[in-house]
Chains A and B, each alone.
Chain A
Amino acid sequence: MIAKNEIAGKENSGLGSGLTIETIRNAIIEDRTTATALAGDYYERIRREDPEIGAFLTLCEERALAQAGQIDQMAAEGIPLPPLAGVPIAIKDVMVTRGVRTTAGSKILETFVPPYDCTAVARLEAAGAVILGKLNCDEFAMGSSNENSAYHAVHNPRDKSRVPGGSSGGSAAAVAAEMAVATLGSDTGGSIRQPASFCGVVGLKPTYGRVSRYGLIAFASSLDHIGPFARTVKDAALVLRTIAGRDPMDSTSAEVPVPDYVAELEKPVRGLKVGVAKEYFGSGLDLEVRAAVEAAIQKLAELGCEVVPVSLPHTEYAIPTYYIVATAEASSNLARFDGVRYGFRAKATTLSEMYRQTRDGGFGMEVKRRIMLGTYALSAGYYDAYYLKAQKVRTLLTRDFDEAFKKVDVIAAPTCPTPAFKLGEKVDDPLAMYLADIYTVTANLAGIPGISVPCGENHERLPIGLQLFARHFDEGTLLRVAHAFERAALVVGR
């Protein structure tokens, strides 16, 4: 093994770029490289590339190399390797990691070292993945551009003057720049799919309840989801297969069997019905995005899918509904950050002052804004007008999908109304920022799975994403259609 490390100089693994989960596992099994050499290569690339991108907040090299060493030991002893053996993966910093600092992108948790692992992270490691480190994000996952990180902005690897999207901006950028083979993100209103679209990678938000939220620092508990980013649909399927399934530590994780998503990919798509809703192609949709998504739908038709018009009539009410439900839940969830048990504490003489000054000093403006909006919506006199009203409209938005999925198997739409915007472009206008999520929030409110797959570029070579939705727990069909499109469009590995 030492001899192999000496050959390639900078590239210790000798595997080059464009790696997928399968190529890595096979290379280790066939003794062409080691998990340790590969982890070294990824850290090397992070040190070289990340100063200009800003995707990582914390590296956990010791933990990564210990895991890689174990994989190499297994390979040397001829023990069958687990499905993600040696695969370098990084984690959005809203998922707790035992012994590895977890900040949620906030100053209030700058020194927080969790005593336990998030279930999704533990499952990845149990499947052989090598956890490289923790990824930058908007503070408490609140934002659509990653500019709300209390640490530093993330630059889109495809155009460094632009945002990577948010809130899982670091997760998307790390995959796009090949600083990790796959990453985990969280999606409360589009925070996986929107940055995947902006950075030109695959991002999957599973069904609510498909993946345990245990160890995910809560933003809006009824809308929060954990899901994968990867360069290919197949890799996203492999990661989902690993992290999905009931977890006794999360009572909302569902007792629904986990299919072999990789096997699902190979099933034919001919005859599947693809719904197209005019509400996702209205004013505000960039013309080049529209053209790319329409071409993608045409491609699905050429693959034998039947394109069927559907109606999702309440779509225009999704953003206002979302920003009431999400902020109401956030105002309650973030009450725990009071300086008593963990994180930052302001010096004060009374308990009440300590709470206030801790939260004033520890939270950024967007977090405070959402806590204020949510508290207002829940306060006496406004509860019925805002929170209860939004919960009722949530029922209507969910019924829209129920009706549509009586007629079709998947729904195709743009992921975002525009390609990645410039850093600084929307920071002073919270409402304009919220509207970046206009095509993604409804899937969170309804709990249905959604995926963003690259489907082209605009004239500035900025990536465009095709979004697909499916029925609850039908990630199999979702991934199958996404995979068929990806293969037909040949946008993979470019």
Chain B
Amino acid sequence: MKVTDKDVAYVADLANLELTEEERVRMLRDLNSILEYVARLGELETDKVAPMAQVSDRYGVDESRQGSERFAYAIREDVQDGLRESLPHDVAVKNAPDTDGTFFEVPKVIER
């Protein structure tokens, strides 16, 4: 599976990146070189192997219980006892590049 110019443009679009012409050329070269190396994973027979997404799946999950109860270890106290206090509004927007003090401001989304 060779990555093409078209793939680079498509993936950049998905990732909300623009990329300069020069960056696209480098990206094409680098992605192909890395994916060629990654292709060796194909040597392994994995049809009957379960995927592993998280280390904590291995020791936290209680398989004797049902549904979300299996993940009881991950329930936070503050969810059981009520919500934790939020950041004050002015603190929450303090790092925003553009704000009216109440909302984050962004360029217009809908033209009419």
* Residues in A lying within 8 Å of B, measured CB to CB: 111-116, 208-209, 222, 248-249, 251-252, 254-255, 314, 316-317, 319-321, 323-324, 331, 335, 338-345, 348-357, 359-360, 363, 365, 368-369, 371-373, 375-376, 379, 382, 385-386, 388-396, 398, 430-431, 434, 446-447, 472
Contacts and interface: CB of A to CB of B under 8 A. Distances in A.
A7 to B, nearest CB: 44
Contacts of A348: 107
Given A340-B96, A392-B49, A396-B46, A386 B38 contact: yes
A172 B72 CA distance: 38
B77 interface: yes
Contact of B34 (A353, A373, A394): A373
B83 interface: no
Contact of B31 (A251, A345, A373): A373
Given A354-B107, A393-B46, A447-B58, A115 B87 contact: yes
A201 to B, nearest CB: 26
Contacts of A379: 10-11, 14
Interface in B16-68: 16-20, 23, 26-27, 30-31, 33-35, 37-42, 44, 46, 49-56, 58-60
B69 interface: no
Contact of B51 (A320, A352, A394): A394
Contact of A113 (B39, B53, B75, B94): B94
Contacts of A363: 17
Interface of B: 1, 3, 7-8, 10-12, 14-20, 23, 26-27, 30-31, 33-35, 37-42, 44, 46, 49-56, 58-60, 73-78, 87, 91-98, 104, 106-109
Nearest to A249: B76
B55 A356 contact: no
A447 B41 contact: no
Contacts of B94: 113, 115
B53 A222 contact: yes
B17 A320 contact: no
Contacts of A345: 97-98
Contact of B54 (A252, A255, A341, A343): A252
B1 A360 contact: no
A323 B49 CA distance: 20
Contacts of B54: 222, 252
B38 A323 contact: yes
A252 B56 contact: yes
B14 A320 contact: no
B31 A372 contact: yes
16 contacts: A112-B95, A114-B95, A252-B56, A254-B59, A320-B38, A320-B40, A320-B41, A338-B16, A341-B104, A343-B95, A343-B97, A348-B107, A351-B106, A354-B107, A356-B16, A392-B52
